[in-house]
Amino acid sequence: MKTINLKKYNLVACLIILGFFLNSVQAYNSNNKLGSFKNNTLQEILEKPFYLFGDDKDKAIPFYLKDFLNWDYEIVYDPDYISEVEDPFISHQENLIKNGYLELTQTFDKKIHYRKSSNIYIKEDDVKKFLKSISKDINQESVNARFKINPETKKISVLTRSQEKIELKIIESFQKIKNTLIENFYVSYIPLEIDKISPEISSENPEQYEIKELIGVGESDFTGSSSTRIHNIKVGAERFDGLVLKPEEELSFTTILGEVDETTGYKEELVIKKNQTVPEYGGGICQISTTMFRGALNSGMKITERHNHSYPVHYYDPPGTDATVYVPKPDLKFKNNTGNYLLLQTEMDEKDKKFFINFYSKEDLYKVELEGPEVTERTTDGKLRTSLKQIVKNAETGEEIFQDIFKSFYENPDNYPSPDKIILEKPKDWSGKQWDEYYAKFGAIIEEMKKEN
């Protein structure tokens, strides 16, 4: 009869069980292990909220660790612990592989000193997703300061304070959370890792920008404007009041203006759009862009983009000195070529119906001459062409630095009727040819209006 070496098989079984045990322990990233805990301690940790914050502790965001954990357990030797049952492993049925390994390898005397310990691992990907989701509550965009200047004293003061750019660092913040918890689970607030970037124009010490001299003025007349149109001019002007441009910085009017709708404070007023004059939010904003264009011309700025209106508008007389804008295009752009900082300051005179944009800088470097606008063509069908020349010279020497010519072409205003003047059906006294020509111009609008009606 063959004798079975039980000791040998026990050893093989132990090795197999040990392999499974080690694999199960490595199921979670060991680098993300936060610690091992008794059950009562673990329960306390799971019920405790932690608070994460970026730059402002008062805006801390609650973080519940229980939502971001994996865990397993192991049986650990604790000489201070004595099992209350004869064999402490009998009741631990959750992990038969671990229990089996300990059952086969430990003596009874030692087994009564083993207790269950829970290992917890933080879920890295889930925490990073959470950090990304709360980044919108922590991040903030950089805001440049805005200034105002007293024309008489030339004293500059802060109109709007600057703001740093703050950006949450996701990877570094995860490491900060993990390391903080490993060191101390009883901490309540955990500061996250953030990047801080100073604004380009700071509200600290506005005198450093050396803005003091008036170098040019843009002016326009809004006589005859409705209260709604005046309201829109005021709202739009606020977007530019106190704006500071760095040397060589290019201003994009539509970028600074931003969204134009009901949510940004505008009301409906007439605008030129799609071969007609229609009510739309922000009607009247071109009063600002036209005034800006004139101020940039008079200050010697290099105009890099400008478009005239589709037809002459009396608010912007004389034709050839206007600038139309519509977010995002067409745009009005000019470059601050003073070599110094440039401040724009708006002013509205409701009594005399005048709107101004004043250009301030360190010194007035240019002598500007404007020739025109001259009407270069006026056709029998109501079309108009104009030309305006800007000549910029050195204020001290009189030497010409550059010149630009701005040509404008305007259609007949009758080609851009308001909706109440659009004819939807062929009049009885019109010939077929007359209606065909009319429909060729306004057919798309006619069909759109018929659908709405």
Q: Which of 65-69, 136-140, 161-165, 215-219 has the lowest mean pLDDT?
A: 65-69
**Domain assignment of residue 339, yes or no:** yes
205 within domain boundaries: no
> pTM for the whole thing?
0.73
Closest listed residue to residue 73, CA positions, set 127, 13, 139, 24: 24
Please give the pLDDT value at position 242: 98
The region, left, alpha or beta by phi > 0 then psi within -120 to 50, assigned to residue 418 is: beta
In sequence order, which residues have a C-beta less than 8 Å from that of residue 434 and are 6 or more positions away?
A: none
Q: From CA 57, how far away is CA 194, in angstroms rounded?
A: 13
Residue 202 maps to a domain: no
Structure confidence by residue, pLDDT tens digits, 360-386: 999 999 999 999 999 999 999 999 999
Pair of tokens at residue 451: 């659908």
* φ, ψ dihedrals at 377, nearest 5°: -160, 140
Structural domain of 431: 423-452
Residues in the chain: 453
Please indicate, yes or no, whether residues 159 and 220 belong to a single structural domain of this protein.
no
Q: What is the DSSP string of 383-430?
A: -EEEEEEEEEEETTT--EEEEEEEEEEE--GGGS--GGG---S--TTS
The answer on pLDDT for 413 being more than 60 is: yes
Tell me, yes or no, whether 187 and 293 share the same domain: no
Least confident span in 327-341, 382-396, 415-429: 415-429
Q: Is 199 within the bounds of a domain? A: no
Question: Are 110 and 149 members of one domain?
Answer: yes
H or E segment at 103?
Answer: helix 96-105
Of 361, 336, 310, 435, nearest to 147 (Cα)? 361
For residues 333-351, one letter each, b for 16 or more C-beta atoms within 10 angstroms of the residue's C-beta and e for the rest, the string is bbbbbbebbbbbbbebeee
Q: pLDDT digits over 11-49, tens only?
A: 444 444 444 444 444 456 778 888 777 767 777 778 889
Q: What is the mean pLDDT of residues 124-148?
A: 96
pLDDT, residue 102, reads 57
Residues 138 and 285 in one domain: no
3-state SS, one letter per residue, for 319-334? CCCCCCCCCCCCCCEE
Q: Considering the domain boundaries, does residue 203 fall inside one?
A: no
Beta strand 189-191 with 49-53 is parallel
d(CA 337, CA 423): 50
User: Domain check: are 333 and 242 in the same one?
Assistant: yes
Q: What is the mean pLDDT of the chain?
A: 85
Task: State residue 23 phi and psi, 5-degree precision.
Answer: -65, -40
Q: Quote the pLDDT of residue 26.
A: 45
> What amino acid is encoded at 308 in this protein?
N
Bridge partner list, 285: none
Q: Do residue 173 and residue 251 come from a single domain?
A: no
Q: What is the share, in percent, of the chain residues with pLDDT greater than 90?
A: 60
In a domain, 200, yes or no: no
* Span 310-363, pLDDT tens digits: 989 889 999 999 999 999 999 999 999 999 999 999 999 999 999 999 999 999
Residue whose pair of structure tokens reads 């200050």 in the numeric block:
299
Same-domain pairing of 129 and 145? yes
Q: Is the pLDDT of residue 244 over 50?
A: yes
Q: What is the mean pLDDT of residues 145-169?
A: 96
| CA–CA dist 419, 436 (Å, integer) | 19
Q: What DSSP designation does 434 have?
A: H
Mean per-residue pLDDT, 193-203: 96
- Looking at residue 368, what is its pLDDT? 97
429 or 365, higher pLDDT: 365
| Total tally of structural domains belonging to the chain | 3
Residue 201, domain member (yes or no) = no
| Contact by Cβ (8 Å): 175, 154 | no
Does an H or E element contain 235, and which?
helix 227-238
**Is 198 a domain residue?**
no
| CA atoms of 46 and 39, how far apart (whole Å) | 10
Q: State how far the Cα of 176 lies from the Cα of 23, in Å rounded to an integer.
A: 28
Sequence-separated (6 or more) residues with CB below 8 Å from residue 148? 156, 157, 158, 159, 241, 242, 345
The residues pairing with 196 across neighbouring beta strands, listed in sequence order, are 166
Residues 67 and 146 placed together within one structural domain of the fold: yes
Specify the pLDDT at position 4. 46
Type of residue at 109? D
Answer yes or no: do 345 and 264 share one domain: yes
From residue 437, how far is each of 219, 264, 414 by CA, in Å? Answer: 40, 40, 14
* Same-domain pairing of 181 and 325: no
Report pLDDT digits (tens) over 247-266: 999 999 999 999 998 999 99
> Do 214 and 358 form a contact (C-beta atoms < 8 A)?
yes
pLDDT category, 278, cuts 50, 70, 90? low
Distance CA 252, CA 258 (A): 10
Q: Which of 136, 161, 191 is the last residue of a domain?
A: 191
Check residue 364 and report its DSSP letter: -
Give the whole-angstrom CA distance, residue 289 versus residue 287: 6
Token pair recorded at residue 88: 């402490």
User: Per residue in 42-101, pLDDT tens?
Assistant: 777 788 899 999 999 999 999 999 899 888 876 666 666 656 544 444 444 455 555 665
Distance CA 292, CA 310 (A): 19
Residues 97 and 29 in one domain: yes
**Helix, strand, or coil (residue 444):** helix
Check whether residue 267 and residue 351 sit in a common domain.
yes
Please give the structure tokens belonging to residue 269.
Answer: 């007023």
